A and B are shown apart, each in its own frame.
Chain A
Amino acid sequence: NAGVTQTPKFRILKIGQSMTLQCTQDMNHNYMYWYRQDPGMGLKLIYYSVGAGITDKGEVPNGYNVSRSTTEDFPLRLELAAPSQTSVYFCASREPGHGTGELFFGEGSRLTVL
C-alpha cells in the first residue's frame, strides 16, 4: 500500500526555471493538499483540492499553480522559480466528510532555487 507518493525527492532549480512536483495517492481520497515547510515556521498551506476538477488557494499560493484532473493526482507547478521558493514541499490527502480529519503525508520534495 503506497499511500501518498511524491516525486522528485530532491531538485535544484535556477532562478526563473519552471518545474512540476508530482503527487499521487492510492487511497481514493477526495481531499488533497500541498504544504510547504520552512525551518522554524511549521507547515503552510499552498493549495488544496476537494475533488477532481476543483482547486482552491491556501495561505501562501503566490508563485504556484495546481490542477486536479483525476482523484489520484495533484501536481504542483512552479512557473518562475525564485529563491523564496526554496523549501520542503509536502503533499497530503484525507477522506472526505466529518471524520477525525487525519491527513496522510508523502515523504516530501526538497527544492532549492539558486
Chain B
Amino acid sequence: GDSVTQMEGPVTLSEEAFLTINCTYTATGYPSLFWYVQYPGEGLQLLLKATKADDKGSNKGFEATYRKETTSFHLEKGSVQVSDSAVYFCALRGGGADGLTFGKGTHLIIQP
C-alpha cells in the first residue's frame, strides 16, 4: 500500500539556519503531495502542496518540489524563525476514499 517516510525528529536548529526535512513516498502512480504543519495545541494546517511531477509548492518561505525520479518531496526553508517551531507532516493523496496517508511527523525546534 501507499506509505510516506519522513526524517525522524526532533530537529533542532538555530534561528536563521537552513532547513531541510526529507520526505519520500511509495505509491501507485503520481498522487498529489502535501506538507501540513501543526503548531502546539492546534490542528493541522496545509503548508504547501504539489499536484504533479516537477511542481514546486511554496508558502511562507517554505518550498518543496515533487520529484518522481526519487519519489521525494523534501521541505526546505532558507532561514528559519522561532515561530516555525512545530510538527511537520508529509502526506500523499491516497487511502480510504482518497483521504491522506501521512508520515509520522517531524518535530522542529528553532532556538533563538
Which residues of A line the B interface, CB within 8 A? 4, 31, 33, 40-43, 45, 48-50, 56-59, 90, 92, 94, 100-103, 105-108
Asked if B43 is at the interface of the complex by the 8 Å CB criterion, the answer is yes
A42 touches B102 (CB 8 A): yes
Which residues of B line the A interface, CB within 8 A? 4, 31-32, 34, 36, 42-46, 49, 51, 89, 93, 95-100, 102-105
In the complex the two chains form, what is the Cα distance from A57 to B95 in whole Å?
11
A59 touches B95 (CB 8 A): yes
B43 touches A105 (CB 8 A): yes
Query: What's the nearest-Cβ distance from chain B to residue A78, in Å?
Result: 19
A105 touches B104 (CB 8 A): no
Nearest residue, chain A, Cβ from B31: A101
B32 touches A107 (CB 8 A): no
A58 touches B95 (CB 8 A): yes
B49 touches A105 (CB 8 A): no
In the complex, which residues of chain A have a beta carbon less than 8 angstroms from the beta carbon of B51? 100
